[in-house]
């Protein structure tokens, strides 16, 4: 026993090093799986408040640009409303059955207060959290395209995976003919591009084609703009095109974004889960 | 002694804030990323107890992790760096040991000594950090390029900072 203590005392420096290193490894590995255990992330109060203060200051510098963008978007929205109202007048004599329509998406406005674009896995922090009804797996877009997916939520802040993250895959399609495939951010992509794989070779694709989100994603609404085709190639032996996409968003200038809640998501996911489970049971 | 503690606490705060508020936004592509906050570990006094160095490095790493959303990666890199520091210091020690009044800066120890000391430790830190971040060997050479590029970038930054913030000392030895 005494020699054990002697050993511990003699080598306590090395043991301390190993102990701290093990703690780090636990932190790194644990936090990948469990929801509640992410303590050290940017949605906790200290770091979030710091980023909030900085972003409040920075917002002033880009006010002009943001105003322009918002104005453009307002015009777009006004256009939609006007065309809707025309429709209303025309069908005024008919009975309109409102129960045919059910609201599917709820949009919430948010500000990006922390953002990176040069790491292998990039994250965002938003200034809204569970108190504003944010939960994980909600979509983030802005007026130009898709931004990312919410991952962790604290009371007033949330941290999100940016589209520029190796763990994010979004199902996207060619607007022209609807052939779809997963969009991911590969190792040779920079902050302006992403890679769309599994596009069938019969698709009539050409550079400049528009890419939008497909209906297969239960997170993003269908038809949100993603970017345009930069180039495409068929790797030898593949039955699919691999497409490089020019992202329409400038990830270095994110400020105002919209968080989208899909009201049908729980229903859709649980249904899919149940049928996949049945499938497994059958096997 | 007390002033040393205060000075280091101040340096800790300033470097963390510099890193997360300013340097985090510097963007020179994916191969040159700056992490000048490691200067804190480099500049700890020579007579800092070794275990204390480890613990300080751990806290520093966690602080950075909090802002970078990397949960423990920077902490792991920092303590490895602090661990390596004791060996590097032994390796580069002058024959009669380190004088109480010396500090591990360019002003006191000279450009050559500081460069080799800093480069080795920054390389250790970046190696651990980038390989944990990538967590795969399929991008081995790409990650290696990032490590080397960023090591040079961080070293350059730290080198310039030394000239900005530390007045050259008259009684330097080199």
- Please name the residue that has the structure tokens 């806290």: B59
| Residue A94 pLDDT | 44
Q: Mean of the pLDDT values across residues A5-33?
A: 82
pLDDT at residue B164, rounded to an integer: 78
- Mean pLDDT, each 10-residue run in order, chain B (174 residues): 86 91 84 91 89 93 86 91 92 81 83 91 93 83 91 92 67 49
Chain B residues whose CB is inside 8 A of the A42 CB are 66-69
Which pLDDT band holds residue A90 (cuts at 50, 70, 90)? very low
- When mean pLDDT is compared over A46-60, A252-266, B79-93, the highest value belongs to B79-93
Of B29, B68, B76, nearest to A21 by CB-CB distance is B76
Query: Residue A36: what pLDDT?
Result: 47
Closest chain A residue by Cα to residue B135: A120
- Give the mean pLDDT of chain A: 81
Residue of A nearest to B67 (CA): A42
Pairwise CB contact (< 8 Å): A40 & B66: yes
- Would you say residue A244 has pLDDT above 50? yes
User: What are the backbone dihedrals phi and psi of residue B5, each rounded to the nearest 5 degrees, phi first?
Assistant: -60, -45
Spell out which chain B residues touch chain A, with contact meaning CB-CB distance below 8 angstroms.
20-21, 24, 27, 29-30, 33, 50-51, 54-55, 58, 61-62, 65-69, 71-73, 75-76, 79-80, 83, 86, 132-134, 139, 142
Contacts of B126 in chain A (CB under 8 A): none
- Residue A283: predicted pLDDT: 66
Minimum CA–CA partner of A166 in chain B:
B134
- Per-residue pLDDT band for A43 (boundaries 50, 70, 90) equals low
- What is the pLDDT, as a whole number, of residue B174? 45
What are the backbone dihedrals phi and psi of residue A214, each rounded to the nearest 5 degrees, phi first?
A: -100, 170
Note whether A111 and A59 are within 8 A (CB): yes
Put simply, the answer to whether B67 touches A42 (Cβ < 8 Å) is: yes
- Chain A residues touching residue B133 (CB < 8 angstroms): 119-121
Chain A residues touching B27 at Cβ < 8 A: 117-118, 252
More confident residue, A71 or A21: A21
Q: What pLDDT shows up at residue A40?
A: 61
- Distant-in-sequence, close-in-space partners of B53: CB < 8 Å, separation ≥ 6: B41, B44, B82, B85, B86
Higher per-residue pLDDT: A195 or A95:
A195
A91 falls in which pLDDT band (50, 70, 90)?
very low
- What is the least distance, in Å, from the CA of B173 to any CA of chain A? 31
List of chain B residues whose C-beta atoms are within 8 Å of the C-beta of residue A20 = 54-55, 58, 75, 79
Closest-approach residue (CA) in chain A for B29: A118
Residue B79 to residue A20, Cβ atoms within 8 A = yes
Find tokens 């301390």 and name the residue: A16
- Backbone CA torsion sign across A194, A200, A206, A210: negative
Q: What's the CA gap between A187 and A178, in Å, rounded?
A: 26
**3-state class (DSSP) for residue A124:** strand
Residue A71 CA, chain-centre distance (Å), reads: 24
Instruction: Indicate whether A249 pLDDT > 80.
Output: yes
Q: Looking at residue A259, what is its pLDDT?
A: 87
Nearest CA in chain B to A253: B25
The partner residue sitting opposite A187, judged by closest CB among B33, B86, B142, is B142
What are the chain A neighbours of B76 within 8 Å (beta carbons)?
21, 24-25, 28
Residue of B nearest to A24 (CA): B72
Residue A120: list chain B partners with CB under 8 A: 133-134
| pLDDT tens-digit readout, A111-166 | 888 888 888 888 999 988 888 888 888 999 888 889 999 998 998 889 999 999 88
Substitution target in A28, A29, A114 with the highest count of B β-carbons within 10 Å is: A28
Quick one: pLDDT band at residue A256, thresholds 50, 70, 90? Answer: confident
**Residue A24: closest CA among B68, B129, B124:** B129
DSSP letter for each residue of A194-262: EEEEEEETTS---TT-EEEE-TT-SSSPTT-EEEEEEEEE--TT-SEEEEEEEESS-TTS--EEEEEEE
Cβ-Cβ contacts under 8 Å, A56 against chain B:
none
| Residue A78: strand, helix, or coil | helix
For residue A70, what are the contacts with CB-CB under 8 A and spacing of at least 6?
A143, A256
Q: Is the pLDDT of residue A205 over 50?
A: yes
Q: Do A120 and B51 touch (CB under 8 A)?
A: no
Asked whether the beta carbons of A183 and A194 are under 8 A apart, the reply is yes
């Amino acid at each position: 026993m005494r020699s054990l203590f002697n050993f511990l005392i003699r080598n306590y420096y090395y043991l301390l090093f190993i102990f701290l290193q093990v703690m780090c490894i636990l932190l790194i590995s644990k936090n990948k799986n469990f929801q509640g255990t992410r303590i050290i992330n940017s949605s906790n109060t200290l770091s979030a408040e710091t980023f909030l203060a900085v972003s409040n200051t920075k917002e002033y510098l880009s006010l002009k640009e943001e105003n322009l963008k918002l104005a453009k978007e307002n015009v777009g929205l006004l256009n939609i409303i006007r065309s809707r109202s025309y429709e209303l007048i025309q069908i005024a004599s008919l009975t309109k059955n409102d129960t045919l329509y059910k609201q599917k998406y709820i949009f919430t406005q948010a500000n990006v207060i922390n953002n990176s674009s040069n790491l292998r896995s990039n994250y965002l922090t938003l200034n809204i959290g569970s108190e504003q009804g944010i939960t994980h797996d909600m979509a983030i877009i802005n007026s130009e395209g898709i931004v990312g997916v919410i991952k962790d939520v604290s009371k007033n802040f949330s941290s999100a995976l940016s589209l520029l993250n190796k763990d994010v895959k979004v199902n996207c399609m060619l607007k022209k003919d609807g052939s779809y495939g997963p969009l991911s951010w590969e190792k040779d992509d920079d902050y302006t591009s992403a890679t769309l794989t599994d596009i069938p070779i019969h698709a009539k694709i050409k550079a400049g084609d528009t890419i939008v989100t497909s209906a297969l994603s239960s997170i993003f609404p269908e038809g949100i703009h993603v970017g345009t085709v930069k180039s495409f190639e068929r790797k030898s032996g593949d039955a699919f095109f691999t497409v490089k996409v020019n992202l329409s968003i400038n990830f270095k200038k994110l400020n105002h974004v919209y968080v989208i809640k899909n009201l049908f998501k729980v229903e859709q996911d649980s249904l899919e889960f149940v049928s996949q489970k049945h499938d497994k049971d059958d096997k | 002694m007390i002033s040393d503690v205060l000075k280091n606490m101040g340096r800790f705060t300033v470097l963390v804030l510099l890193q997360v508020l300013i340097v985090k936004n510097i963007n020179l592509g994916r191969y040159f990323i700056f992490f000048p906050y490691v200067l804190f570990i480099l500049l700890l006094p020579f007579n800092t107890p070794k275990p204390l160095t480890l613990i300080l490095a751990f806290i520093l790493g966690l602080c950075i992790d909090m802002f970078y959303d990397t949960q423990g990666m920077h902490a792991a890199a920092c303590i490895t760096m602090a661990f390596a520091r004791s060996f590097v210091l032994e390796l580069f020690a002058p024959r009669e040991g380190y004088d109480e009044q010396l500090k591990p800066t360019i002003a006191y120890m000279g450009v050559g000594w500081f460069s080799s000391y800093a480069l080795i430790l920054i390389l250790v830190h970046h190696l651990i950090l980038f390989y944990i971040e990538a967590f795969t060997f399929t991008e081995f050479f790409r990650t290696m390029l990032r490590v080397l590029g960023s090591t040079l970038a961080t070293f350059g930054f730290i080198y310039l900072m030394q000239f900005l913030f530390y007045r050259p000392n008259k009684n330097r030895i080199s």
